[in-house]
Amino acid sequence: MKKVALVTGAGQGIGLKIAERLVKDGFYVSLVDYNIETAQKAAEHLSSDGSKAIAIQADVSKRDDVFAAVNETVDQFGDLHVIVNNAGVGPTTPIDTITEDQFRKVYGVNVGGVLWGIQAAHEAWKKLGHGGKVINATSQAGVVGNPNLALYSGTKFAVRGITQVAARDLAEEGITVNAYAPGIVKTPMMMDIAHNVGKNAGKDDEWGMQQFAKDITLKRLSEPEDVANVVSFLAGEDSNYITGQTIIVDGGMQFH
């Protein structure tokens, strides 16, 4: 059977690894990103003739953009089975510094992007006459409030709530809704932070990374692939009896 997945924020970082993994799993994948250049490059790398991976530009905070991206995916590949609402932004926001613009931006992308993704996929599945799987990005910071992340943590708690509600609202139509919660992932941004922490202490990058790894039970930062492995499970048939859940993929940062 032809399987089709849409991944938002797939131009780089965790989303790119998810897209790569889903192509490996046999999915036709549309890589949706605000940054069309990175998404295009990634799609070409995954499928040189464009037959298995395509890039679509969308700002996930805009409902119309998300609906258009879902419709284009169905037009191009003829079907849709999985939507991974992965795109997100995560600025550091000490509580007294938060502005209305920041509030709108971070909630618009992280929460709006998930809501519009669910609505658009639901509409597509109604037309296609079958259900599918929604997979949402939350975070370890969406399970425990992290210092200086009032906006980000708040949005990621919201995503867990929406995941539970949508799972109940859409179950009768054969739709499951789950989420994944990464911890500290080795993305370029995280490597920069580790580099600076090391540099400021007169040490190297590895030392910088170890400062973060100390609080992790498995004593290492997450590779993006650790997260993609879990998304692959949630996208596949082995997770058919799971819905409304958040799978925490943080190496055991703390026990709740």
Question: Annotation-wise, does 117 bind a ligand?
Answer: no
Q: Which of 5, 12, 230, 232 binds ligand ADP (CB under 6 A)?
A: 12
Pair 6, 32: CB distance under 8 Å: yes
**Candidate list 11, 132, 142, 154; residue touching ligand ADP; CB under 6 A:** 11
Residue 60 binds ligand ADP, judged by CB under 6 A: yes
**Nearer CB in complex with ligand ADP: 40/243:** 40
Residues near 221 by Cβ (< 8 Å), separated by ≥ 6? 184, 185, 186, 190, 209, 212, 213, 251
Considering the complex, state which of residue 170 and residue 216 has its C-beta at the smaller distance from ligand ADP.
216
163/222 with CB nearer ligand ADP: 222
What is the sign, positive or negative, of the torsion defined by CA atoms of 204, 209, 215, 216? Answer: negative
In whole angstroms, how far apart are CA 115 and each of 110, 141, 177? 9, 19, 12
Binding residue for ligand ADP, selected from 36, 68, 89, 158, defined by CB under 6 A: 89
Check if the beta carbon of residue 249 is closer than 8 Å to that of residue 234.
no
Shortest Å distance, C-beta 188 to ligand ADP: 7
The yes-or-no answer on residue 152 being catalytic is yes
Decide: is 33 part of the binding site for ligand ADP (CB under 6 A). Answer: yes
List the one residue from 61, 93, 155, 239 that touches ligand ADP (CB under 6 A): 61
Say which of 28, 34, 152, 180 is annotated catalytic. Answer: 152
Residue 187 to residue 67: CA distance in whole angstroms: 29
40 near ligand ADP (CB under 6 A): no
224, 187 contact by CB (below 8 A): yes
Minimum Å gap between C-beta 31 and ligand ADP is 9
Stretch that binds ligand ADP, among 57-65, 93-101, 193-201, 208-216 (CB under 6 A): 57-65
59 is in an annotated binding site: yes
Q: Is 225 in the site for ligand ADP (CB under 6 A)?
A: no
Sole window of 32-40, 159-167, 169-177, 245-253 interacting with ligand ADP (rule: CB under 6 A): 32-40
User: Least distance from C-beta 222 to ligand ADP, angstroms?
Assistant: 10
Residue 63 or residue 130: which is nearer to ligand ADP going by CB? 63
Q: Estimate to the nearest angstrom the gap between the alpha carbon of 80 and the chain centroid.
A: 17
Nearest CA-CA partner of 157 in 144, 147, 142:
142
CA distances from 202 to 7, 196, 197, 205, 206 (A): 40, 10, 9, 10, 12
Instruction: Give the residue from 134, 29, 119, 35 showing the smallest Cα distance to 76.
Output: 29
182 is in an annotated binding site: yes
CA distance 182 to 224: 9
Q: Which residues are at the interface with ligand ADP (CB under 6 A)?
A: 8-9, 11-15, 33-35, 38, 58-61, 87-89, 109, 187, 189
Binding site, annotated residues for NAD(+): 12-14, 33, 59-60, 86, 152, 156, 182-187
